[in-house]
Amino acid sequence: MGYALKETEYRYRAWTKDGIWQMGKLTTNKNITIHEGSNVFHYGQGLFEGLKAYKTKSGKIQLFRPDMNFIRINEGLDRIVAPRIPEELFFDAIEKVVEANKDDIPEYGQGQSLYIRPFVIGQGMNLGVKPSEEYLFSVFCAPVGTYFKGGLSALNFVTTDYDRAAANGTGQVKLAGNYGASLYPRQIAKDAGYAGVIYLDPATHTKIDEVGAANFFGVTHDNVVVTPKSSSILPSITRKSILYLAEHVLGLKTEERECFIDNISEFKEAGACGTAAIITPIGSITHKGKKHQFGEGEVGTIVKKLYDLLLDIYYGDIEAPEGWIREIK
C-alpha cells in the first residue's frame, strides 16, 4: 500500500453471538478493546481483505469485484475455523463504510482511491490452542494515493531463501501471520536496495510463487501471459482480472503453470499485481546474485496495456466485463 492520505471518521463493527454473526453498525471509535487472552494476539487467528472504491468522471462511486473479496474472506474463515460471514453482513459493512466516508473518496483524475480494509479476529479469553468462541468483523477505510509517485516505472526485485507460507500451509488465505512472516525477508531486500521480494515455491525453491503482497505474471517472447500455479500463493483478484483482460480484450494466450526461476529468460516482460499495487512493472529479478533484466528494464508494452485497461475499468472510463463493478448509491 502506498500511503494513507488521512484517517476517516467511520468504521463498521459486528460480532458473533453464540457463534452466529449479528448485523453490526458504524462507529467513530478507532480503538478496539478486547481481552488480553484473545486468540488473535497469541495464536494468529485473524485475517483481512483489501479492496478499493473509485470515483468515476461522472461522480459515481464504484467497487471493483467485491463479490470476489466476499468469497475469499469466507474461504479464509474456513481455514482458520471461524464462522462464515453472511453476504448481507459483508456488503452492509462495506457499503455503510463507503457511504459514511464518501467525502474522503478522492476525486476522479488524481489516480487515487479509497482503500477498504475488512478484517476478522478471534477474541475473548482463550488460553488453549483452539478456535475462539467470539469473533469481530470490522471494516475501515482510508484514501490512498497512487502507489507510484511520479508514474509507472519498472522496479527491481530479488528472490529470497525465506518462505512466506508453507507448501500446504496458509499461503492461499490472507492470514495475518503470513505477513508477519514476510517482514524480515522484505527488510533484507529493502536494505539491499530492492523494491521487494520474490518468493519461490516453499517445497523446492525452483519456481516463482509470488511477489511480497502481489502476484507475479510474465509475458513470454511470443506474447503468452503466464502466471504461476502453486498451492502457496494468494489467489489475487487483480491477477484473475488481468488474465481475463489479456485473453478477452487483448486477444492474447494465457497460461497458469509453473514458472521456473532458472528459466526466467522465457519472459520479456513481467509484473506484480494486486489491489494495492495495481500493476507494478518488474524491471529485473536478482536470483543468487545474478540479475535478470526484462527487456531494457523499461515498462513492458503488454504490462502497460494491461495497466491502462485496469485503470480505465476502475475509474469507469470503459465498460467493465459483466458483473465486475458494484456501484454504491
* Residues that bind ligand PLP in the complex, under the rule CB under 6 A: 50, 174, 210, 213-215, 234, 236-239, 274-275
Q: Coil, strand, or helix at residue 24?
A: coil
Q: Minimum CB separation from ligand PLP for residue 127, in Å? A: 30
Q: Minimum CB separation from ligand PLP for residue 221, in Å? A: 26
Query: Which sequence positions are flagged as catalytic?
Result: 174
Q: 104, exposed or middle or buried, with CB in 10 Å at 0-12, 13-18, 19+? A: middle
- By DSSP bridging, strand 253-257 and strand 25-27 are unpaired
Q: Minimum CB separation from ligand PLP for residue 146, in Å? A: 16
Nearer to ligand PLP, 38 or 215 (CB): 215
Nearer to ligand PLP, 24 or 165 (CB): 165
Quote the crossing angle between the two packed helices 301-314 and 237-248, to the nearest 10°.
Answer: 110
Q: Coil, strand, or helix at residue 44?
A: coil
Nearer to ligand PLP, 90 or 295 (CB): 90
Q: Coil, strand, or helix at residue 37?
A: coil
Q: Coil, strand, or helix at residue 302?
A: helix
Q: Minimum CB separation from ligand PLP for residue 206, in Å? A: 20
Whole-angstrom distance, CA of residue 262 vs CA of residue 11: 46
Q: Minimum CB separation from ligand PLP for residue 172, in Å? A: 9
11 contacts 139 by C-beta, under 8 angstroms: yes
At position 179, the amino acid (one-letter code) is: Y
Whole-angstrom distance, CA of residue 184 vs CA of residue 19: 36
Nearer to ligand PLP, 105 or 237 (CB): 237
Write down the residue that cell numbers 497460461 correspond to. 255
Q: 198, exposed or middle or buried, with CB in 10 Å at 0-12, 13-18, 19+? A: buried
32 contacts 136 by C-beta, under 8 angstroms: yes
Nearer to ligand PLP, 165 or 328 (CB): 165
